[in-house]
Amino acid sequence: VRDNPDTLYARTICADTPPAEHKLSQQCNEKVEENIKYAFSKIESTWDLIHVEGEMKVYKSEQEIDGVVCDPLKATHTIRNVTSQEMCFTFWDVNVRMEWDTTLDITNTLEVLSQDTVISHQLMKRVWPATQRDTCFVSHLRKLDLSIQNTQDVGSWLVINFSTEHPKATSKCIRAKVNVSMLCQTFLDPPDIPIEKATRENLVCKIFYVAHANPGGWVPGSVLRTVYKREYPKFLRKFSTYVHEKCKDKPIKW
C-alpha cells in the first residue's frame, strides 16, 4: 500500500474530526488532495533552486501559459519552537493577514462558508510597470493524518488558497488566479521525548509551501521573475518570524 502514491495521498486527507460541509466542500477536498501531492512531490530537474537562506530553500519551475509567466513556486523551510497548527492557523487567519503579508493593500472576507473555510478578496500592491492585481479565493484549513506515510511527525496541517468567483469580488484590477498551499508537520527534538514533556524548545516545524499563480494577463516576465525571487523568500522569512514571535510566550497549540 505504501508504495502506491495514489493510495497514500488519498488516505492522508482525513483526520480525527471530519471537516465541515458547505457548498464548496467537494472542491476543497479535491484541492487538498492535489496540494498534498504538490507538497510531497520530489524536486526534480525541472526545478531551479532560486534562493537558499539557512533551512529555507525556494525553487521555481519555468512555465508560460499563452505567453504569460506562470512559474510554479515551491519552498521548503524548517523552523523551531512552533507547531504545524500554529503555523497553518496563522496563515489561514484573516484577522492577522495584513500583519505579515506585505504584498497586500487590502484583504476582505466576502463569505464565511464554515469554521475552517472563508472566501477572501484581496488587492495586491501595484508593482511598476504592471497593472494592479486582485485575487478572489477560497481559504481552507485542514488537519491531516499522515500516519500512513510512517513519518515521525506528531501533527500535520494544511492551508489551501485556491481561486474562485464571487459576486461581491469587484474591482478595476486584473484578476490573478492562484492555487497556493502551506503544509506543515511538527516533529520533536529529540524524537523520543514523550509529547506531554515537550516544551517549545523541543518543537521543529517543517514547512512545504507551493504557489501556482497566473497573473491573469501579460506582465514583463523578467520583472515578474525578479519580483518572485525577492518576495517569496521575504514572505517566508517574515511569516516565520511573525508566528515565532506571536507564539513564544503562549501555551503550545498541538
- Using CB under 6 A as the criterion, which residues of the chain lie in contact with ligand 6CM when the complex forms? 97, 101, 103-104, 122, 124, 127, 130, 133, 135, 161, 176, 178, 180, 211, 213, 215, 219, 223-224, 227, 231-232, 235
In the complex, what is the shortest distance from the CB of residue 113 to ligand 6CM, in angstroms, rounded to a whole number? 17
User: Residue-wise over 126-140: b if at least 16 C-beta within 10 A, else e?
Assistant: ebeebeebbbbbbbb
Measured in degrees and rounded to the nearest 5, phi and psi for residue 233 equal -60, -35
Decide whether 122 or 156 has the Cβ nearer to ligand 6CM. Answer: 122
Tell me the three cell numbers of residue 212.
501556482
In the complex, what is the shortest distance from the CB of residue 131 to ligand 6CM, in angstroms, rounded to a whole number? 8
Q: Is 81 left (phi over 0), alpha (psi -120 to 50) or beta?
A: left
Q: Cα separation of 229 and 223, whole Å? A: 10
HEC secondary structure over 96-125: HHHHHCCCEEEEEEEEEEECCEEEEEEEEC
Decide whether 45 or 222 has the Cβ nearer to ligand 6CM. Answer: 222
Decide whether 198 or 207 has the Cβ nearer to ligand 6CM. Answer: 207
Decide whether 140 or 206 has the Cβ nearer to ligand 6CM. Answer: 140
For the chain, helix (H) and strand (E) counts, in that order, are 5, 12
Q: Which residue is nearest to ligand 6CM (CB)?
A: 231
Q: Cα separation of 154 and 185, whole Å? A: 7
Closest listed residue to residue 162, CA positions, set 144, 185, 135, 126: 135
In the complex, what is the shortest distance from the CB of residue 143 to ligand 6CM, in angstroms, rounded to a whole number? 19
In the complex, what is the shortest distance from the CB of residue 54 to ligand 6CM, in angstroms, rounded to a whole number? 19
Decide whether 8 or 113 has the Cβ nearer to ligand 6CM. Answer: 113
Closest listed residue to residue 100, CA positions, set 155, 182, 32: 182
In the complex, what is the shortest distance from the CB of residue 198 to ligand 6CM, in angstroms, rounded to a whole number? 29
Decide whether 175 or 200 has the Cβ nearer to ligand 6CM. Answer: 175
In the complex, what is the shortest distance from the CB of residue 211 to ligand 6CM, in angstroms, rounded to a whole number? 5
| Under 8 Å between Cβ of 58 and 195 | no
